[in-house]
């Protein structure tokens, strides 16, 4: 594989709770977000993203496994599934992207990622963990759009509905983007596999209008 010089910045495409700026902030500067059961150490570089942009990519966001932070299902992305996934891409340094990925895997941040494979082939499995598979979703303003997800397909795992605090962060992040109306967001999240059949658009809309409560 030819040597690839990684860019200084990438777009981190979040499809889960990190779409919400206040939630992402804790991954960068450290601390515990509302409704979570975990304190995050933060990134080496604690500068907040200079820009964020709404993006829509092929594939599906779905909920599965059990989150010890939120309880309920975690959000994952299957790029090969039918449908479209709504994301919020944050402009971060490659160092910050590595540190965010480390914290998603409950590891101590501080080690850089080798992005050669994902930048050249579009996909790289760094390990067996649930967020150790990198996916390149394209480019924005000349910089790669990257995300991380599980190595399995959506059809290979048992779906599990997300909790209210977790789903509220997803809804808030999509709303902050300004790209979609609240009724569109509620319908989208209620249709995601794992949420579908357990959450209705009306119930998601109620989360968006209700004040968040800490545990």
The pLDDT tens digits of the residues spanning 182-211 come to: 999 999 999 999 999 999 999 999 999 876
CATH number (1.10.1040.10, 3.40.50.1820, 2.40.40.20, 3.10.490.10) of 9-160 reads 3.10.490.10
Backbone angles phi, psi at 136, to 5 degrees: -95, 125
For residue 213, pLDDT beyond 60: no
pTM (predicted TM-score) = 0.91
The 10s digit of each residue's pLDDT in 160-179 is: 999 999 999 999 999 999 99
Residues in the chain: 215
Task: Compute the C-alpha angle 86/193/146, nearest 5°.
Answer: 35
70 contacts: CB under 8 Å, gap ≥ 6: 17, 35, 36, 37, 162, 163, 165, 166
Does pLDDT of 1 surpass 50? Answer: no
Which residue in 144, 93, 94, 152 sits closest to 120, CA to CA?
144
pLDDT at 35: 60
pLDDT, position 144: 98
Domain range annotation of the chain = 9-160
Task: Look at residue 212 in the predicted model and tell me its pLDDT.
Answer: 54
pLDDT of 97 reads 97
State both tokens at 57.
Answer: 């990519």
């Amino acid at each position: 594989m030819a040597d690839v010089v990684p860019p200084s910045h990438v777009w981190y495409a979040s499809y889960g709770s990190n779409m919400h700026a206040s939630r992402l902030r804790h991954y960068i500067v450290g601390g515990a977000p509302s409704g979570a059961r975990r304190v995050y150490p933060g990134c080496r570089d604690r500068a907040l993203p200079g820009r964020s942009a709404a993006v829509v990519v092929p594939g599906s966001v779905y909920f599965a496994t059990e989150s010890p932070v939120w309880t309920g299902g975690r959000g994952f992305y299957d790029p090969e599934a039918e449908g479209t996934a709504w994301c919020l891409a944050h402009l971060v340094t490659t160092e910050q992207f590595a540190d965010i990925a480390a914290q998603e895997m409950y590891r101590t941040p501080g080690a850089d990622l080798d992005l050669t494979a994902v930048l050249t082939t579009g996909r790289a499995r760094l390990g067996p963990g649930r967020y150790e598979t990198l996916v390149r979703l394209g480019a924005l303003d000349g910089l790669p759009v990257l995300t991380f997800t599980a190595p399995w397909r959506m059809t290979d795992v048992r779906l599990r509905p997300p909790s209210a605090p977790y789903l509220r962060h997803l809804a808030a992040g999509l709303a902050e983007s300004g790209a979609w109306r609240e009724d569109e967001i509620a319908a989208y999240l209620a249709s995601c596999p794992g949420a579908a059949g357990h959450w209705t658009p009306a119930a998601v809309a109620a989360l968006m209008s209700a004040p968040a409560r800490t545990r």
